[in-house]
Amino acid sequence: MNIGIIGYQGDVSEHVEIFHKLSREYKRDIDPIIIKDKRYLKSISGLIIPGGESTTIYKFLKEYDLFEPIRTMVSWGLHVMGTCAGLVLISKDDPGSRVRGMNLLDVKIRRNAYGRQMDSFSEFIDLEGIGRFNAVFIRAPVIEEVGDVVVLAKHKGIPVMVRSERVLGLSFHPELTGDTRVHEYFVEMIGGEGYTSIPERKYTIEEFI
């Protein structure tokens, strides 16, 4: 299974490394592919939008014309995991914000609301379906409102991990501690379904891209 990682800025190599570890140690057949060009979207079943700086990642997604194609591909069955800055990008659009959301996950977030870089912290929290996990928060977005999603974890009463059918969003960074379980959860979420299995789409991927 090919999993793409948006590769302009942020924790790109960390996600690649975790997927290599998952393949190596747990015998999962996963090829991580760094994506900077929309043509590569057609070869993946899952996509990671990493943590980093959401304004920068947003700018490049628009400049290289990946923003709308990703949205369309999710409607065709592509699975997405957004972590921290990636969560900002997949959440509900706020027209007043410098970073526009893709409306892929029914949550309203507030950027940088966990405080400044100096306020970064890590803490063990319980993730539903995964267990106790060392969660690293770095100038993270706060999930302020949740709509039609399942909350998988909370920290001090605030949701920090939520999912819909195909989209997983986390305020923290699961790629920083060497623990592969959240990435494995995402792979399980994808299961056998790639977006090629969606019959009702209007175009072929080649026509679209």
Is 173 noted as a catalytic residue in this protein?
A: yes
Site string for ligand GLN, 32-71 (x = CB under 6 A): -------------------xxxx-----------------
Q: Dihedral, CA atoms, 146, 149, 153, 155, nearest 10 degrees? A: -10
Residues 6+ apart with CB under 8 A from 111: 54, 88, 97, 99, 141
| Footprint on residues 69-88 left by ligand GLN (CB under 6 A) | 84-85, 88
Angle, alpha carbons 75-52-28 (nearest 5°): 60
Q: Could you tell me which residues are beta bridge partners of residue 134? A: 124
Which one, 113 or 146, has the nearer CB to ligand GLN?
113
The H or E element containing residue 187 is: helix 181-190
Q: Are 200 and 122 in contact (CB under 8 A)?
A: no
Task: Provide the residue type at 82 as one letter.
Answer: G
Phi-psi region of 191 (alpha: psi -120 to 50; beta: other; left: phi over 0): left
Span 143-202, contacts to ligand GLN by CB under 6 A: none
Using the contact rule CB under 6 A, the part of the chain among 19-27, 71-79, 136-144, 193-201 near ligand GLN is: 136-144
116 versus 202: smaller Cβ distance to ligand GLN: 116
Eight-class DSSP state of 184: H
Of 14, 15, 84, 183, the catalytic one is 84
Catalytic residue check, 84: yes
Q: Total binding residues for ligand GLN by CB under 6 A?
A: 13
Identify residues 95-124 at the interface with ligand GLN (CB under 6 A): 111-112
Residue from 138, 149, 152, 176 in contact with ligand GLN (CB under 6 A): 138
Residues 6 or more apart in contact with residue 188 via CB below 8 angstroms: none
3-state secondary structure of 8: coil
* Nearest residue (CB) to ligand GLN, 45 versus 160: 160
The site for ligand GLN (CB under 6 A) is made up of 51-54, 84-85, 88, 111-112, 138-141
Q: What positions carry a catalytic annotation? A: 84, 173, 175
